[in-house]
Amino acid sequence: MEINQAFTILANAGGVRAARIITENNKKLSRFSVWRIARKLRRGVPVAKIINQKWFYGLSFYTNKHTLDPRPDTETLVSAVIADCGPDCTPRILDLGTGTGCIVASLVKNIHGATGVGVDKSWGAVRVARRNVSRLGLEKSVRILCRSFNRRNMTRDTFDVIVSNPPYIARGDHRVDAGAMHDPSSALYADNDGYAAYEIIARNAVAWIKPGGKIYLEIGVDMDARVTEIFVQNGWTPVRGEYDLSGIMRVLVFCI
């Protein structure tokens, strides 16, 4: 099919921006492929899930049905860590619920001498993250493990920095965008009105952090007070919060 024809069909199905991204990533689309993609766009499937690619912090990441697509809000988390790392800082980083691996990979790429471990309980996500680590040439600096952070004995290692974008949407909350319907529910929803993962991390991460280390957490809208309370109750000390580009408190930082 001619590229102009494909563009028109895809634009009618999902908008001009979606059509441009898809056609730029694949200059040779068959008629069958175009109609198949158009049907997905009409169903609200995100472009990233169609082309299996999402840019995050200036890097391209593979993504699929097993992972949450990287989102711009999460770049606030990465920026917060980088801002705290001086020229002589070579932190060891633990990423809880790594998904695509975008957080730990972006940090190691941007902090000279940093190394990292990403853990996820989903084998599908682990395979995606390992693929991204390989694509970015980080095999010697980043390890991806299939582990669940709800077990305190998940690791005996300790880290200078712990990061996490855990599931924090309350079950039954229907305010998520249509694109999120195509992300794995385990990466989105949490019990206890969305706070269950924070409660687990607050209890267990004290065993994984080095003295003087910090934990950086992405949070949802208006969750800062309750998350802070959860961490203070578990012995953590609040350091600061960071707002995203929309002016929403998006990241909380604690030390032990």
Are 10 and 111 found together in one domain? no
Q: 144 and 220: one domain?
A: yes
Query: What are the two backbone dihedrals, phi and then psi, of residue 113, each rounded to the nearest 5 degrees?
Result: 85, 0
**What pLDDT, on the 0 to 100 scale, is given for residue 178?**
65
CA pair distance 255, 165, nearest whole angstrom: 17
Q: Is the pLDDT of residue 26 over 80?
A: no
**48 assigned to some structural domain:** no
What CA dihedral angle connects 188, 73, 219 and 189, to 10 degrees?
-10
Same domain, 31 and 105: no
The residue segments making up the domain with residue 233 are: 54-255
Query: Is the same domain home to 13 and 102?
Result: no
Q: What is the pTM of this model?
A: 0.93
| Count of structural domains, the chain | 2
- Burial of 82: CB neighbours in 10 Å, binned 0-12, 13-18, 19+: middle
Are residues 114 and 161 both part of a single domain? yes
Give CA–CA dist 205/208, Å, rounded.
Answer: 5
Tell me which of 201 and 6 has the higher pLDDT: 201
Do 38 and 58 share a domain, yes or no? no
Percent of residues, the chain, with pLDDT higher than 70: 98
Q: Are residues 11 and 120 in the same domain?
A: no
Q: Does residue 201 share a domain with residue 88?
A: yes
Q: What's the CA gap between 30 and 8, in Å, rounded? A: 14
C-alpha distances (whole Å) from 84 to each of 7, 10, 35, 96 are: 44, 43, 48, 19
Q: Are residues 18 and 106 in the same domain?
A: no
Model confidence over 34-67: pLDDT tens digits? Answer: 989 999 999 889 999 999 999 999 999 999 999 9
Residues 23 and 138 grouped into a single domain = no
